[in-house]
Amino acid sequence: MTQKNKKYNGKGNKLCSFVLAFLLIALPVSAIEWTYYDLDNEILQNPTEEEIEETAVMRVSDTGVTQYSLEIEHDFSGTWGTGYLENIGNPMPDVGKHWLNINEDVTCKVDGIVQDQYNLNSRYVATGFVAQGPPNTDDKADALIFDGSNDYVAISNVLINDPSSITVELRAKRDRLNVEERLFAHVNGIYAGFNSNNQAVFGTSKRKCEASVTTDTG
């Protein structure tokens, strides 16, 4: 009789364990509740999704987890290119708002490969896009970049006979000051650049015109 009771008790223990496990699985998992804060560390009272997206910069859960927001944005308005504007640079994390745990190290990358119908696997950050310019047919922007070491650009000779006026427009971004620089020049023709007083200069071998104001870097 004792052996039978032990046998039934073993079955009963297994049944109780099964029922308990089933109940634990069936119990609803309560959702984590977050308290959101703005830049002034003020609590957002019953915020909407829009308020969270636009205003919240920190949140604390009811389990004690603190997270800060990381927002990835870009603005290519006014540009013309062949890429899809939401993935230019292929940023990682993606464009948008992300919540990251406090003290979590984050590495942002913006040099991914983006497909270009003219040049497959071209790499974009912000290069390759021309402000209100033509399509990027040769994977180059509408500007010249010099590294300061044996750089030059040459064009064919141009003959101008007795013009009533000549207009030359030049835009340059300087990276140094107090040095005389020639941005372009011809041996016996026109030249443009800056003098050692940081004034823009345009002239010929006989005459020159200097700006009345100085030009800084940037």
Amino acid at 198: N
Residue 169 backbone zone (phi > 0: left; psi -120 to 50: alpha; other: beta):
beta
81 and 128 part of one domain: yes
Q: What pLDDT is recorded for position 204? A: 84
123 and 177 part of one domain: no
CA dist 100 and 67 (Å) reads 5
Domain interval for residue 159: 144-218
Residue 121 within a domain: yes
pLDDT at 35 over 60: yes
124 and 166 part of one domain: no
- 81 burial (CB, 10 Å; 0-12 / 13-18 / 19+) is buried
155 and 197 part of one domain: yes
217 and 151 part of one domain: yes
152 and 137 part of one domain: no
Residue 119 within a domain: yes
Residue 3 within a domain: no
163 and 210 part of one domain: yes
Among the three residues 141, 162, 197, which one is the final residue of a domain in this structure? 141
CA dist 113 and 143 (Å) reads 22
Task: Kindly report the pTM of this predicted structure.
Answer: 0.39
Band of residue 141 on the pLDDT scale cut at 50, 70, 90: very low
The two three-digit tokens of residue 3, written as one number = 């052996």
Number of domains in the chain: 2
pLDDT at 36 over 80: yes
Contact at 8 Å (CB) between 121 and 139?
A: no
Residue 38 within a domain: no
pLDDT at 133 over 60: no
pLDDT tens figures, 147-161 = 666 777 776 676 777
The two three-digit tokens of residue 215, written as one number = 């030009």
pLDDT at 173 over 60: yes
155 and 123 part of one domain: no
What whole-number percentage of the chain has pLDDT above 90?
Answer: 17
Q: What pLDDT is recorded for position 90? A: 59
Angle at 74 between CA 47 and CA 102, to 5 degrees: 50
Mean pLDDT of 136-157: 61
pLDDT tens figures, 81-126 = 555 454 455 567 777 888 989 888 877 766 554 444 554 444 444 4
116 and 159 part of one domain: no
Mean pLDDT of 16-34: 63
pLDDT tens figures, 51-61 = 999 999 999 99
Among the three residues 116, 141, 166, which one is the final residue of a domain in this structure? 141
pLDDT at 15 over 70: no
Q: What pLDDT is recorded for position 1? A: 47
Residue 57 within a domain: no
177 and 200 part of one domain: yes
Residue 208 within a domain: yes
Contact at 8 Å (CB) between 166 and 188?
A: no
Residue 52 within a domain: no
Residue 169 within a domain: yes
Among the three residues 113, 141, 169, which one is the final residue of a domain in this structure? 141
149 and 133 part of one domain: no
131 and 179 part of one domain: no
Q: What pLDDT is recorded for position 20? A: 54
